[in-house]
Amino acid sequence: MKKLAALLLLLLLPLAPAEAGGKKIKKVKPGDNPIEFRAFSQPLSDEDRLDHALARLTFGARPGDREQLKRIGFDKWIEAQLHPERVPENPLLAGRLAPLESLRLNIHDTYTHYPPPQAIAAVARGKGALPDDPELRALVVRLADRYLERKQVAPKAAGTTGGNVQGALSNFADDADLEPRVHLRDILTPAGIATLRSGKPDDKRRVLESIPAAKRVDFTWALRPAQRRQLFTLAPVELRRELMLSVSPQTVVASDLSEGKLLRAIYSTHQLQELLVDFWFNHFNVFLNKGADRYMAPTYEREAIRPHIFGKFHDLLLATAKSPAMLFYLDNWQSSGPPENERFNARRRRQRGLNENYGRELLELHTLGVDGGYTQKDVVEVARCFTGWTIAAPRKGGGFEYNDKMHDHGQKIVLGHVIKAGGGMSDGLKVLEILAKHPSTAHFISLRLAQRFVSDNPPPSLVNRMAKTFRKSDGDLRKVMETMIYSGEFWSAAAYRAKVKSPFEMVVSAVRATNADVTSAFLLANEVRRLGEPLYGKLEPTGYSAANAEWVSSAGLLDRMNFALALANNRVPGVKTDAALWEEAAQKDPLGVARSLLARDPSEQTKGAIEKSLSSARPAQVPSLVAGLTLGSPEFQKR
């Protein structure tokens, strides 16, 4: 399948229109920047350009990527990354994503399929309705029944609104989904049961993989909750999701989201697209673990971020502003202006009044930047413009809704622009239009992109050209990226290997470099969390930083080395590295393994560490040991 995807790419790229084909890289003159930026005028060699392209415009090279880039040529390869719709996606990716059902559901269905503890408790206490879907109904009934056992709460009398668990059990006792509790002996052989109790992890994994799909639910409910949790890391994807559903359904949503992000970064043919999805999610960050955002984040990334990364910035800004995930995260869904009638005034105590959170972050983080020329008065006025932008009730789907009764209908003045009274929802739309066209926004967005893809301290010449493109193209983000990628600064000695990988980037690049087969990314997500970057877990609205200083520490580097050694030795469940890549090279020269992973000679420091470790290693350990030390080396941490 991998070879098929590569072949399709080679066949189709020559047919794709190359609007930017033959584009020349804009040369940088030494006098274009202050003296401290002069190194950005020194171009890279052809070989270094290959490495730089794969390090900055992908999540890291896979075996054969360098050769493929040489065959295709820089222009066609870059155009394919800037126009992912022209290139077929890796067919292997769809199969890996298929079990992660919650990635494809809307907010309402996500909540229904993966109910939170309070919904289970409501059903158990006779205050919540059971789902119509038989499978979901069976799941909720089982969870609610266990809730009653654990809490020792007596069920309400039959006939209570929403029904009760005992009644539900009797009503659906004949359903196939509600068979009596089974025992492990009904599913596994005695040897299989003994292995699950005291066997080695690999043996347990084989037993779990042997369980037929039709028996997954029975197997799950034949275990105690503590046993289910213990098997999370060993079970194949479909069974693990059943185990998680039976313990805490809402955690499946977070797990699916993190796994999907990793799988796309590892397998997608559209590498630049995935890099930009990560960039823009952090730019418009929401925190997954804040209440309802657990159910809104998948839709947010799928519908507000992903479709707009190569489009107009205004459209991306509008999509995030209207997203229930953003409205909830920054509390704008509760922000309201002065009450205008007695009915609303009677409910005033349930409202929190004007909330400035979104207004402040919209100006400081999303558009103008902290030095963008706004004042505290502008923050307040912007917040007033977005009153009434809220979230529909769950029965209406939980999507965006404008509530005119919550809106402040008075006149506002934002950045010197008068927004007349009585505008309603259009007040917020006008603010977004003002901000999307503001020169400070053009500069701030260009700076953030350059910091992510070029250098922590990018040269003014590049940022200014990108900002000019932003203004001339009405915020066309693809054109801004083109300006950056076809700049001399991007391909300069100063930009080469000047960035440190975040934990997410390090883990993905290591998996790609080893050509690993990832059947389950659950443990990889845990590794990224352990390294300091829990996916979708940044509490602050800043998102995760792209600055080197954020990720450089002695403890962090040691943790990266430990992960690299575990990966190279196939000690990460769900991930199988291709050790054959290194065995032949190791027989000729152990350092050949390092060269193949780094595409260059390792540094003297890394050579010394490898040679010292090899002195006490058995021959069979050499390939994986050298691979692990190389993946954990300082050279591999740079991009």
Specify the pLDDT at position 473.
Answer: 98
Encode pLDDT of 281-340 as tens digits: 999 999 999 999 999 999 999 999 999 999 999 999 999 999 999 999 999 999 999 865
Judge whether residue 493 has pLDDT over 80. Answer: yes
Judge whether residue 181 has pLDDT over 90. Answer: no
Cα 517 to the chain's mean position, in Å?
20
Q: Is pLDDT larger for residue 482 or for residue 39?
A: 482
Judge whether residue 17 has pLDDT over 70. Answer: no
Encode pLDDT of 226-245 as tens digits: 888 889 999 999 999 999 98
**Residue 590 tokens, joined:** 């152990």
Contact status, residue 424 vs residue 402, Cβ threshold 8 Å? yes
Q: Which residues pair with 492 in a beta bridge?
A: 43
pLDDT band for position 154 (50/70/90)? Answer: very low
Encode pLDDT of 543-600 as tens digits: 999 999 999 888 889 999 999 999 999 999 999 998 877 877 777 788 888 888 998 8
Specify the pLDDT at position 459.
Answer: 96
Mean pLDDT of 437-448: 98
Q: How far is CA 407 from CA 341, 385, 414, 433, 573, in A?
A: 12, 8, 16, 19, 52
pTM over 0.85: yes
Q: Which of 37-41, 288-292, 467-471 has the lowest mean pLDDT?
A: 37-41
pLDDT band for position 350 (50/70/90)? Answer: low
Mean pLDDT of 605-632: 88
Three-state SS sequence of 158-213: CCCCCCCHHHHHHHCCCCHHHCCCCCHHHCCCHHHHHHHHHCCHHHHHHHHHCCCH
Specify the pLDDT at position 480.
Answer: 98
How far is Cα 221 from Cα 256, in angstroms, rounded to an integer? Answer: 21
Q: Is pLDDT larger for residue 60 or for residue 30?
A: 60
Encode pLDDT of 61-76 as tens digits: 999 999 999 999 999 9
Judge whether residue 379 has pLDDT over 80. Answer: yes
Mean pLDDT of 92-118: 92
Look over the chain and give the mean of its residue pLDDT values, rounded to a whole number: 87
Q: Is pLDDT larger for residue 18 or for residue 415?
A: 415
One-letter identity of residue 97: L
CA atoms within 13 A on the CB side of 53: 23
Mean pLDDT of 152-169: 39
Specify the pLDDT at position 2.
Answer: 41
